Structure 1
Amino acid sequence: MKHIRSRKHANHLHLLALVAASVPSAGMAQQAAATLPTVTITETADVPFKADKSANPKITQPLLDTPKTIQVIKKETLAEQGAITLMEALRNTPGITMQLGENGNTSAGDTFQLRGASLQQSTFVDGIRDLGAVTRDTFNLESVEVVKGAAGAETGRGAATGYINLISKQAHLGDESSVSATVGTADKKRASVDLNRQLSETSAVRINATTQDSGVDGRSTVKNKGQGLGLSYVDGLGTPTRIHLFSQHIRQNNIPDGGIPSIGYEGYYQGAGTFGTAPNTYTVSAAQAAAMNAAGKVNRNNYYGSVNDYEKVTADMVTAKVEHDLGQGTTVRNVTRWGQTKMDRELTGINIVTATVANDPSTWTVSRSRQKTDQVNTILANQTSVNSAFNALGLEHSLAAGIELMHEKQEVTGHTAVGTTSAANLYNPNSNDAFGSFVASGAETNGFTTTLGAYVFDTVKFNEQFSINGGVRVDRYKLGTRNISTANAKTTLDDERTLLNWSIGGVYKPAPNGSIYASYADSKTPPGGNNFQLSATANNQSNAALDPQTTKTLEVGSKWELLNKRLNLAVALFQSVNDGQTTVDPVTSAATQYGKTEVKGIEFSAVGQLTNFWQISAGLAKTQTRQIDQRSATTVTDSVRWSPDLTATLWTSYQLDKLTMGIGARHVSEQKRLITEGTDAATTTMPSVPAYTVFDMMVSYKLAKNTNLQFNVYNLFDKEYLSTLNNGGARLVLGAPRSATLTAVYNF
């Protein structure tokens, strides 16, 4: 029985008892009052923060009995934190870090990494891969599920160290709606509505919408502006056949951020000499180098872009799902989705600092470059699956099987910068300086993948203590690259192969509320599988002649439900090895696939309630990441970029009648940029992102029965820290300074 969080439920129980006592007995005229049967009332409300099951039908068992690390971040957690982007939501799980991009470029859309591998192509919405350069919003999310470890048996290609599955809000029976408005520092303005209405005994409709027009704390000119709409209609609720029609539509018109120069920050270094590659070389004198190494930071509010920089995103997704219960624990479903994301962006990047007059920083400049992104991602998918629970040969089975058809396409239109982009004054940039523009170059970079996949998972329960979970997936996979150069030269490359992935896990339950497990899983990433681009270069990882990279994960752990199932505790030891990376043989200098990345560590989590009024969501990951046999012609790589040894996250809140108070903390240890063996970090620009710890807080008050006011403060102690650093070390983005939002919510 779930614990009751509010005393108002006690009043309901008294009322029910009075009503029951007042009902006359049918035979009262002939006999004494009859004895009423005992009535047991069970509280069914969910425990805040805590989830018991995954929304993914491939995961048939409760999280407690699933032999892998899965974290579910519920909408209640996101609401308390005021998290409005996926990047903010993922702060609730340890081990994930955010990336910036190559040198002068800034990555478009969500860019994050887990356990040494990118998750950019391992993001799913309701179990279907989600592509495209877009900053995802949480307005239409019921929860965010983070699955860790190799997961090719569940997802197909990729998912080397895990994947993210976003669960959309769906219409349901009953009327439940809310509106909210948020204002905050940096001229933040946001409004949202969540309207669910029951149309009949079996149908309902739901509308989620949001609009935003906000600046960015600590940055001038940069702006996030956009609208989102989520629509859901369901018919057949409570019947054997259910039809779901839902869609999501995003429009963004942002002013993007090219970051600020890293000069003046801890770890910055500029040597004397001649740098670059002919004809683009430049020379730094000893006097200039000394002055630059002693220079101060630029103002964090400096904007080095153009007044004409922009980022326009259009993302549409339409889904139809039909479910039918065949009876005796068997359900069949079919899901069809079409989705398309368009990114059109012009961005100004920053690169080389020049100390024009060494002893006069007011004359110093930083070079700028203009970049254009014109990209369209399209996906068409169909999934047919069955879930069934049955007994066979005296054993209990929970089966999930299905077939997936998918066609994904990425089209990038090339542009050439024309005109001159002037360097900016380092300490006093001007967004009205001369900037180049763009014209279509005639070049195109196009790619597609077509996948036919089939999978089956089965959990076999031997008794109340022992079970085995296993799965296998086969994909017939084809990747095609169709590129056109500026000289109208056409390149056609194809790769077609069969991918086989599998997983196996065993669970032992020493008690009904606890489990101990061990599991093994693998995942294969074929050449070009992450960017739709094959290469004809012999030693390029995207050459179709190479074998897929294979990641294998071994995990042992334990999960427990404590405090009358209010609190989930979990611990896991894991080791992942990604094999098949290109490297250079030190003897023959030939390209081989002997390179590996090894990640091993331990992870802890605690999610749920400590008391009826005290919620907690906490996690800690201690990892060790290294490269094995990773060589180029001149260097040896011995570690993995942006892979901290320690990450930790905490969010906890306590309810005092109408008042709720929350506090949160995020810690990320040092993240290496310099990963080449034998290189002196003291003579390398920004060899790492320093460790940081940031605290947040929240206070909310229930003004009336249906009205709540919430105040959030982020970076409570105004810690200055590097959020992300580019691969070259010359450009960075700082974490937001102390900031605040005020949100009013009305439920009806």
Structure 2
Amino acid sequence: MSVHRSLHSLSIAGTLFLAAQANAADTGKVDETRQKKDQHNQKSTSAQHAQRDGVESQETERLTVTGRAFNIMHQSLGLSRMPQDVMHTPQTINVVPQELMRQQNVKSLDEALRDVPGVTSSIGEGAGGMNGDQFLIRGFQAQNDIYEDGLRDFGVYSRDSFNMETVSVIKGPSSEVFGNGTTGGAINMVTKAPTLTNRYAAEFSGGSGSYYRGTFDVNQKLNDSTAFRITGMGDEHNVVGRNYIFSHRWGVAPSITFGLGKRATLVLQYMHQQENSVPDFGVPVVTKPGAAYGQPITEYGIRRTNFYGTDSDQNATSDNMETARFTYKLNDHITFYDDLRGGQYYRTFAASKATCDTTCVNNYFMGDPAAALVARSGPNGAGNGQGGGTIQAPLPYEQQSWSVQNVASMVANFKTGFLKHQVVAGIDIERVNDERKQSTYLNPKPYASLVNPNPYVGNLNLVPGDSNPTGLVNLGGIGAKSGSNGYGFDTGLFLFDQIWFTDWLSVKGGFRWDRWQTTYNVTGGDVSKYPDKHFHDVSGVFNPNVSLVITPDAHQTYYFTWASSTTPMGMYVTNGSVPIRPGTNSFASPETAQLYEIGAKYSILHDRMGLSASLFRLDKGNALNADPVTGTLEGSSDKQRNQGLELSVGGVILPGWNISATYALYDSSTTASSTAKNIGKNVQYVPHNQATLWTAYNAFASKPYNLMIGGGVTWRQHVWLDAGNTLRAPANLDFSAVISHRFNEHWKISMNGYNLANRLNYQSLFSNRATPSAGRMFMGEVSFAY
């Protein structure tokens, strides 16, 4: 087919043109030789097969051509179960490429996803104290839908970018590929894997907020088919505009690949990341007397720097993942894959969430502001008329989790008569275990001043929960328990086939069947009052999907897709406070979702520019709601809908001038609810409009006085924080910029600026709190690559 021929000519006849574009984009003309070598050698890494004609195959594994880095239409997704590129996958897909992350000096997964419309960060806590990376896609929970190289990452931690090659957001239900979940979509990180080109690189950054960061990336060819790579990171910083918040983390990720360019390829990877930080649960959202809706208290004169936690708050994580990815090309038509991962996750967590009740609000707005006191989670001091002595979540806890997942799959290309097929089939088996031990404080947390909070509260006498059962949180329907443990075990079978009736018309359809088994146990505490309880649930789910795909030529694709997903109870084993519990209809009925989407994708101007547009409708039944006090996820009879338009453009406008832009228009509503007043209201966390823009120009790329300048803006309209639309976070508007200079083919300096207008934005949201984003910030960087 013509698409296949286009890829072939692009990788061979167009190499010089693309390399020249790459130099003009950012890397400098002096890098031309190294770029061409990388393109040649990366083709022979463990392959993903982009097969548009349904019969022949060509290896395009992780081919990153910087010249069209912002045009992601021919970007591989790094998933054997999704073997085609972005352009020929009938679904909305946003990719954050490596070059964009470099220009923006992206340091975490959270920062990378700010370039993707429809993704919102959630504080995501509760009785289990969940935090770390907690995202929503198109307004729906995606905390359990984070993947690395197509395998689920069960950890609850903040993911650093030091080992990320690209980040993709595959929007809409994708249960046929990923299994249970993916109501709003899935996030997949492609990691840095060994190649046959020796490379030694490092970056050193420093800037506002006592920011110090260093990374290294070493790739060494061992022989003609074996290579070793190791990446590492050390990061220490405070947060500009937020008092007492800091993060210290480090990580290392060695990997080795055997059989590069051979029929059989094995990639072995290990990742360790460790962090010690202070969790930031933000500021309370309050309703000013007489106001139509509530807003963060910082919208009413409270300083954005105010931290309502204590000096006992901490978030210490240690995370490990071991991965083996095997590829065997049987012949030109059939390729087998087997991906295996084990993970171990450890966490010690203690946080405080601020609550400003009616007395606090009245004192601040209509009385003496100095008398306005904020309750912190945990038992608070009595005698102030503000609910003293109550116990609120989250309590301190220790968490230990482990997981194993193996995905075995096959991609087969063949003909039956005049019909061409691409069949993907396989089995996905995973198990995740989790154990938590709650602790309590013997001493009450003193209330904090709303205006001038003091985090130094002294020794609160932290003890195991069983030593102080009266200090445990009642988990609602379960009781005050000191310990919990549970597991989830899933067996999934998937099969889908794309059938070409002509070179330009095909139908893709398939299904996945899953058997999800989960157990949750709560133990300890005062067992005479709250006996130990044990819950078990088994769900068998079937999720079909179908797409009509039209590809008139190599540069355009049109599609219609219908897909479904299911989220059974107990999915949130490691990152939910109460995975399953009786007394809710969620225990019996899983959350379901259906997607209807029509879209178009283009790669134009000799593949320098990529454009996409899609119209979608996403319906969700038995929606999960988060309790505003405990954060516990509970099922409901609510039905929700989000529909809208998404646009994106990326690529090279002129030699040396790159651009990446997105826009999303969402129309969301609760279509059915047992709470009548919520019907017709907007879905939580879904903005009506959202847009991103980033552009960079490299002037005089081949001259000693070369200069790359760029900048961008991200904008998100206000969002509602509760189902009744009584609380909302204001709009976000963030301006950023970069300037860099390359001394020679090896050394470069750059300066990035973030939130240049120093606006009060809110990045992480929850139903009654919001976390102010960092203020104006500058980061300088020195880097080299040999």
* Structure-1-length-normalised TM-score: 0.85
2:462 to 435, 438, 453: 438
Report the secondary structure of 1:406's partner residue. strand
Q: Encode CA deviations 1:284-325: one digit per residue, 9 max, x unaligned.
A: xxxxxxxx9999523222333322322100000001122211
Letter in 2 for 1:213: E
Task: Name the CA shift for 1:165/1:582 in 2 (closer, same or farther; >3 Å).
Answer: closer
CA contact (8 A) 2:129 2:350 kept: no
Residue pair 1:245, 1:320 contacting (<8 A) in 2 also: yes
Alignment pair present for 1:672 and 2:720: yes
Aligned pair 1:513/2:555, yes or no? yes
Determine if the alignment matches structure 1 residue 567 to structure 2 residue 609.
Answer: yes
Alignment partners' CA distance in 1, 2:104 and 2:241:
20
2:492·2:515 contact (CA, 8 Å) conserved in 1? yes
The answer to whether the aligner puts 1:396 opposite 2:396 as a matched pair is no
**Alignment counterpart, residue 639 of structure 1, candidates 682, 702, 706:** 682
Q: What is the CA-CA distance between 1:218 and the residue it aligns to?
A: 0.7
Cα deviation, residue 650, structure 1: 1.1
**Correspondence for 2:288:** 269
1:735 equivalent to 2:773? Answer yes
Q: Distance in 2 between matches of 1:449 and 1:552?
A: 24
Answer with 50-59 or 560-569: which moved more: 50-59
- Give 1:248's aligned residue: 271
**Distance of aligned partners of 1:703 and 1:362 in 2 relative to their CA distance in 1, 3 Å threshold:** same
Q: Does 1:49 align with 2:70?
A: yes
Deviation at 1:328, TM superposition (A): 2.1
Q: Which amino acid aligns with 2:582?
A: T
- The residue number in structure 2 matching 1:539 is 584
Q: Does 1:227 align with 2:255?
A: no
Q: Distance in 1 between matches of 2:609 and 2:673?
A: 43
Letter in 2 for 1:660: M
Superposed counterparts of 1:592-603, under 5 Å: 594-603=637-646
Percent identity of paired positions between Structure 1 and Structure 2: 26
The corresponding residue for 2:473 is: none
Is the 8 Å Cα contact of residues 102 and 727 (structure 1) preserved in structure 2? no
Aligned residues of 1:132 and 1:376 also touching (Cα < 8 A): no
Q: Note closer, same or farther for the CA distance 1:567–1:11 as it changes in structure 2 (3 Å cut).
A: closer
The answer for the alignment partner of 1:452 in structure 2 is: 491
Deviations 1:357-405 (A, max 9, x none): 9654334332222431322232111121112222222222222211111
Where do 1:297-446 residues align within 5 Å?
A: 297-352=301-356, 354=360, 359-370=367-378, 371-434=395-458, 436-442=460-466, 443-446=482-485
Q: Is the 8 A contact 1:86 1:135 kept in 2?
A: yes
Runs (4+) of structure 1 moved beyond 6 Å?
7-13, 103-106, 292-295, 355-358
Paired AA for residue 549 in structure 2: V
List gaps (5 residues or longer) in structure 2: 1-9, 37-63, 379-394, 467-481, 626-633
**Whole-angstrom CA distance in 1 between matches of 2:403 and 2:350:** 25
Aligned mates of 1:711, 1:671 — CA distance in 2: 32
Q: Does 1:469 align with 2:508?
A: yes
Asked if residue 149 in structure 1 is aligned to residue 153 in structure 2, the reply is: no
- Distance, in Å, in 1 between the alignment partners of 2:84 and 2:176 is 16
Query: Deviation string for 1:85-128 (max 9, x for gaps)?
Result: 11110011111111224689974101111112111011111111
The alpha-carbon distance between structure 1 residues 534 and 209, as it changes in their structure 2 partners (threshold 3 A), is: closer
**Residue number in structure 1 paired with 2:381:** none
Determine which of 239, 242, 262 is the counterpart of 1:216: 239
Greater Cα offset, 299-308 or 164-173: 299-308
Report the equivalent of 2:621. Answer: 579
Q: CA deviation at 1:463?
A: 2.1
Classify 1:343/1:162 alpha carbon distance in 2 versus 1 (closer, same or farther; 3 Å): same
Normalising to structure 2: TM-score of the pair?
A: 0.81
State the one-letter code of the partner of 1:745.
S
Once the two structures are superposed, residues 152-200 of structure 1 have per-residue CA deviations (whole angstroms, 9 ceiling, x without a partner) of 1111111112101111111111101210000010010000000000011
- Aligned equivalents of 1:209, 1:183: Cα separation in 2: 17
Normalized per residue, which structure has more helix?
Answer: 2
**Contact 1:101 1:727 (8 Å CA) reproduced:** no
Moved more, 298-307 or 494-503: 298-307
Shift of 1:608: 1.6
Residue 109 of structure 2: aligned partner: 86
Q: 1-side partners of 2:299 and 2:513: how far apart? A: 57
Q: Give the match's secondary structure for 1:154.
A: helix
Measured after TM superposition, the shift of residue 425 of structure 1 is 2.6
110 and 421 in structure 1: CA distance in 2 versus 1, 3 angstrom threshold = same
- Establish whether residue 260 from structure 1 lines up as the match of residue 283 from structure 2: yes
Deviation at 1:55, TM superposition (A): 1.2
**Structure 1, unpaired ranges of 5+:** 17-42, 273-291, 584-590, 682-686
Query: Do the aligned residues in 1 keep the contact of 2:678 with 2:723 (CA within 8 Å)?
Result: no
CA contact (8 A) 2:304 2:760 kept: no
Q: Does 1:549 align with 2:570?
A: no
Task: Say if 1:256 and 1:138 are closer, same or farther in 2 by CA, change over 3 A.
Answer: same
The reply on whether 1:688 has 2:709 as its aligned counterpart is: no
Cα distance, 1:426 vs structure 2:
2.6
- Alignment-mate amino acid for residue 715 of structure 2: H
The residue aligned with 1:189 is 212
* Correspondence for 1:33: none
User: Which structure shows the bigger proportion of residues in strand conformation?
Assistant: 1
Distance in 2 (alpha carbons) for counterparts of 1:539 and 1:693? 40
Distance 1:654 1:581 in 2: 45
Change over 3 Å in CA distance of 1:387–1:421 after alignment to 2: same
Q: Does 1:158 align with 2:177?
A: no
State the 1:577 CA deviation: 0.6
Q: Displacement of 1:346 after TM fit?
A: 1.6
Q: Which residue of 2 aligns with 1:698?
A: 738
* Residues 70/258 of structure 1: CA separation in 2 closer, same or farther (3 Å cut): closer
Letter in 1 for 2:268: L
User: Counterpart of 1:538 in structure 2: which amino acid?
Assistant: G
Report the Cα offset of residue 335 of structure 1.
1.8
Question: Residue type matched to 2:71 in 1?
Answer: K
Q: Give the number of equivalent residue pairs.
A: 677
- AA paired with 2:455? S
Structure 1's 68 and 594: CA in aligned 2 closer, same or farther, altered over 3 A?
same
Which one-letter code corresponds to 2:70 in the other structure? F
The structural deviation recorded for 1:46 is 5.2
**Residue 173 of structure 2 aligns to a residue in which SS?**
coil
The answer (yes or no) to whether the contact 1:185–1:740 under 8 Å persists in 2 is yes
Paired with 2:635 and 2:221, the residues of 1 have a C-alpha distance of: 61
Q: Please say which of residues 155-164 and 456-465 is displaced more in the overlay.
A: 456-465
Q: Structure 1 residues 198 and 556 mapped into 2: Cα distance closer, same or farther (>3 Å)?
A: same
Partner of 1:348, secondary structure, is coil
Q: Does structure 1 conserve the Cα–Cα contact (< 8 Å) formed by 2:496 and 2:508? A: yes
1:671-690 alpha-carbon deviations (Å, 9 max, x no partner): 0124327xxx5xxxxx2111
Deviation at 1:261, TM superposition (A): 4.5
Does the C-alpha gap of structure 1 residues 361 and 638 become closer, same or farther in structure 2, counting only changes over 3 Å? closer
User: What is the distance in 1 between the residues matched to 2:455 and 2:673?
Assistant: 42
Output the amino acid matched with 1:692.
N
The aligned residue for residue 659 of structure 1 is 707
